[in-house]
Structure 1
Amino acid sequence: MDVHEYSNGEVTILWKPKLCQHATNCVQLLPRVYNPKARPWIKPENATSDELRAQVAQCPSGVLSITE
C-alpha cells in the first residue's frame, strides 16, 4: 500500500492517499498544515506535535496515523 510520510522532527504523519476521503476535515482543522494546492500538501512543521496528534485522532477514515 502506498504510504507517504511527513515529519516535524518529533512525530511523523503517515498518510494513505488511495484511501483518503475526508481531506476537507484536515484542511478545516489545521489549514496551516494541510494545503491541497501546495506540494508537499502536508507540512507538519507548521503545528505542534500535540496539535498534530489531536488532529490525526479525528481522522474519520483512519488514513492518517502518527509514529513517534
Structure 2
Amino acid sequence: MAEIKEYSNGEITVVWKPEICIHSGICARGLPAVFRPKERPWIKTDSATSDEIVSQVKKCPSGALSIKQ
C-alpha cells in the first residue's frame, strides 16, 4: 500500500497522497508559506488560516491533496 502523509493544525488535516501527486506546483504558488516542497515537513499548516488552506487544497489538479476534518 502506498504511503499517505497527514499534516494537521488541530482544526483541519491536510492529507497528501504522494503516489498520485503530479507536482504541478499550484499549491506552492498559491500558498508558498504553507506548501514548501524543499523543506521537511513540506506542509506547514500553521502558516495560514484553515479556510485559506482548504481553498488552496481544492485547487489541486491531481487530487493528491485533500482535507480531513
Q: Write the distance in 2 (CA, Å) between the matches of 1:25 and 1:40.
A: 18
Gaps of 5+ in 2: none
Aligned residues between the structures: 68
Structure that is richer in helix per residue: 1
* TM-score when normalising by structure 1: 0.93
Corresponding residue number in structure 2 for 1:29: 30
TM-score by length of 2: 0.92
Say whether 1:53 aligns with 2:54: yes
Higher mean Cα deviation, 20-29 or 48-57? Answer: 20-29
- C-alpha distance 23-45 of structure 1, shift in aligned 2 (>3 A): farther
SS of the residue 2:25 aligns to:
helix
The match for 1:67 is 68
**Structure 1: any 5+ residue segments left out of the alignment?**
none
Paired with 2:14 and 2:51, the residues of 1 have a C-alpha distance of 12
